[in-house]
Amino acid sequence: MKTKKNPALFFRSGACVVLGLALFLPVAPVLLGASPLLSSRWGFRIDPPEEYQFSEGDGKNRFSFRSPEGALLDLVVYAGDTYPSVEAVAEDVQRRLNNRGEISSFEYRTKKAALMALQFSRPGSGNRAASQGWGLCIELEGDTRGNGKPLLLALAYGPEERRDLQGVFLSALDSIIPTPLDSHAPGPITEFSYPRGEQKQVRLAGGTAEALIAEHDVEAAQALVDREFAVLRRYAASPLWQEAWTRFYRAIYRDSFDRLANAAFALERYWNTQESENRKLAEKALGWVQSFTYERDFMGSDFVNLVSAAVEGRGDCDSRALLWAIMLEQANIPAAIMVSRDYSHAMGLADLPGTGARFDLQNKQWLVAETTAPVALGLIGQSVSDISNWLGVVFE
């Protein structure tokens, strides 16, 4: 069994712009917004925390971003004939920065990768202008030149005294999606820290269906929730709070989707719905999450990770709504969620026919699903029915 690794412990022991545009258009300061950013040339995506602004780059392969708090994010793509391996890139970074942190090689979903703990000072500055953070080098699959694969180098770092930015750095790197096939899998930092381990048969909430869950999935999913919630809290008073909320749920959706794939299949088989019975499946899944024990954690993230929710049958409204949405998406039923800061509530959304309350989002009239009260699909309480108080979150 692989040993679980914690990047934060690794660091202590070791001493964008909208990419789809900036790759082809003249560069200019751009605020990273509410959607993952795509490099159409190299095929990777990145979904970093809010407030990073483009600061410099060549508009093709090099990009640097800066936040008002001093967080920096540098991205460089090397063609396949530039370096022989991710380790060679990491070692070159070590040399050029005179970096004192450690390098650890690993494999992320068949792709070679290297994680670097960054701890360095600018040449000639001594301990002044010292920086700390994390670096990731990972193989890509687009536009191969030479004999090797293109390599993405991402460095997330900031002033050494700003240890509170550690979660921001790790969150930025973990949001990297090297290829489209990685868009529904845990990110590279989470996979490094919590290798999935062996699949084990477990009984799902309700005591009937059984599914395969990887042995470290609960711990990994909760660690991601806790880290992303800490990042989210930074934007409580920010004008970008809606974008930050959207990103929070997007990160959990990506991390949990593959972890719950077998559970979704097992439940669909147990409910015995046919392919043409999408609304019936949505109703079965809704009744399932409505039966959960209502649980909140006012001292923590107040969000039960979705693996624990599915296995133990517990969670708050947003845990249930997001779990319900994943169950539907696994069955190819378009689903989303809606959340409200005013109502302190969340509900599910589905693109399904039939009667019921609707929420207009991205040119679709989504059917509303209340996940905490035993009511039918499409019903919404009058006290939370003001649509202007809701924020829609779409994942696909």
DSSP letter (8 states) at residue 124 = T
Q: Find the CATH number of the domain harbouring 306.
A: 3.10.620
Are 168 and 203 in a shared domain? no
Are 23 and 148 in a shared domain? yes
Are 299 and 170 in a shared domain? no
Nearest to 61 by CA among 93, 27, 103, 95: 27
Give me the domain span that covers residue 239. Answer: 199-394
**Parallel, antiparallel or unpaired: strands 345-350 and 335-340:** antiparallel
Are 27 and 158 in a shared domain? yes
Are 140 and 223 in a shared domain? no
Are 169 and 256 in a shared domain? no
274, with CB counted inside 10 A (0-12, 13-18, 19+), is: exposed
pLDDT at 189 over 90: yes
- Identify the pLDDT of residue 145: 58
Q: Is residue 1 part of a domain?
A: no
Are 154 and 186 in a shared domain? yes
Q: Which two tokens stand for residue 370?
A: 């209340």
DSSP letter (8 states) at residue 115 = E
Are 43 and 84 in a shared domain? yes
Final residue of a structural domain among 160, 193, 226:
193
Residues 271-309 pLDDT 10s: 986 666 899 999 999 999 999 998 766 555 678 999 999
Final residue of a structural domain among 193, 222, 257:
193
Are 162 and 278 in a shared domain? no
Q: What percent of the chain has pLDDT over 90?
A: 73
pTM: 0.89
- Identify the pLDDT of residue 214: 97
Are 56 and 163 in a shared domain? yes
- Identify the pLDDT of residue 345: 94
Q: Is residue 184 part of a domain?
A: yes
Nearest to 225 by CA among 253, 264, 244, 246: 253
Are 21 and 85 in a shared domain? yes
Q: Is residue 2 part of a domain?
A: no
Total domains in the chain come to 2
Are 46 and 119 in a shared domain? yes
Residues 131-152 pLDDT 10s: 999 999 999 986 655 567 999 9
Final residue of a structural domain among 178, 193, 208:
193
